[in-house]
Structure 1
């Protein structure tokens, strides 16, 4: 039996038996793990509430045959407090958690960058200082960059010709020049390309100034690009309420 300690974000929970739960966590050092929390569904459990989605926790576990066992959990950040009463932020947070869960496919493999992106995104949503849609799209773009799926924004995705280019094609990998443009490509505005670049590189001055229509178009491209590469739809993404608060 090996005992270990780590910090983690709770991604999701599943019922197990009458009183236990299987907790899926993204940890700082061990990547994604699934662990059993015994007795946490009992009303007298003193630490079951700490192992809920959106919580950032310090956990102690020991390795089991198939699933690890959680023996202790302490709250580091209770991010859910800032999300559960705000539907747009809550749904954006759910999409962030589900994306992190899908992107880190292998359990036990280190995923430090995704962990840091996840904690930063959930903290930003909970603090309510930025528009929820912008935070979600920035997380999705940066997480895709880590996975090697970042869309081409300036150079052509097919021939690498320097841009800017007028067309965008999901299957081709992003921006495409007139020579490489496949049928069915869309023609986003220059403002949409600028917002994609700003979100990917953390230019929040440009992102916060984007118009509501530009934010909607950008969100559509980001969601389509992510789900193309995942080869499946995120269950939480259609529920996200895109209520922009852009400057006009």
Structure 2
């Protein structure tokens, strides 16, 4: 039996039979790890509480062909400030699903681990989870090399001139000159979420200067979540832009995105 020790954050769990479960860990040395936790679903299991989602702990595991096995766990934090707030649980579930999609299995990824550890700490501490989720989306896409351009036109490389648009399919922000509606039919298309670029039609979102500035701040904040707020049009446009970015990068929409979207536009969270 080949044993190894690693710190890890539990991203998700899945039942396995009557008594066991499978957890997905993010580890600095191992990347994504899928492991069986024997007996974790039994009422008095000592491993149940310390292998819940969002838990950060030190794990001893044995290597297997397809699944590793958890042997021992030493808890570091369970992030109680997340677990006691339904909105934060929803947000943490979403960003955990996103990090699992953007992290390779069994590949060292220390930067991803420490970034995500910081994400959960910020999510636990902040009253409004909106900025943490948006910063996480931008940070994960940036680290994966999948973040579109926000501060120059993706088509001509020039300055962003209003009216501006955003299209992940086009590569990012599109200046008013490149995206200018030629006639009423073109403008109706933009309003409906489509932008004609020569012979090609791509999904596009009209964006304000405030939205592009907010996206630049999120991109340039590194490992420290910025202290910013956004309301009304800017908040909605940032949501729409980053939803398009994530969908385009993954080639699909995450199951948890609809629920987290409803949480982040709730009036009591603004």
TM-score norm. by structure 2 comes to 0.83
Compute the displacement of 1:179 (Å). 4.6
Q: Secondary structure at the match of 1:204?
A: coil
Which residue is equivalent to 1:154?
151
CA–CA distance in structure 1, aligned partners of residues 132 and 34 of structure 2: 27
Q: How does 1:195-234 map to 2 (within 5 A)?
A: 195-202=214-221, 204-205=226-227, 207-208=228-229, 210-234=230-254
TM-score norm. by structure 1 comes to 0.90
Which residue is equivalent to 1:101?
100
Is residue 95–residue 236 contact of structure 1 (8 Å, CA) maintained in 2?
yes
Which residue is equivalent to 1:118?
116
Compute the displacement of 1:60 (Å). 0.4
Is residue 133–residue 219 contact of structure 1 (8 Å, CA) maintained in 2?
no
Is residue 156–residue 176 contact of structure 1 (8 Å, CA) maintained in 2?
yes
Provide closer, same or farther for how the CA distance between residues 85 and 213 of structure 1 changes in structure 2, counting only shifts above 3 A.
Answer: farther
CA–CA distance in structure 1, aligned partners of residues 232 and 177 of structure 2: 31
Is residue 26–residue 32 contact of structure 1 (8 Å, CA) maintained in 2?
yes
> Which runs of 5 or more structure 2 residues have no equivalent in the other structure?
180-194, 197-202
Higher Rg: 2
Provide closer, same or farther for how the CA distance between residues 43 and 185 of structure 1 changes in structure 2, counting only shifts above 3 A.
Answer: closer
Is residue 155–residue 175 contact of structure 1 (8 Å, CA) maintained in 2?
yes
Provide closer, same or farther for how the CA distance between residues 111 and 6 of structure 1 changes in structure 2, counting only shifts above 3 A.
Answer: same
Compute the displacement of 1:185 (Å). 2.9
Compute the displacement of 1:87 (Å). 2.4
Deviates more, 1:112-121 or 1:144-153: 112-121
Which residue is equivalent to 2:200?
none
CA–CA distance in structure 1, aligned partners of residues 177 and 234 of structure 2: 26
Total equivalences in the alignment: 241
Q: Secondary structure at the match of 2:131?
A: helix
Q: Does 1:142 align with 2:161?
A: no
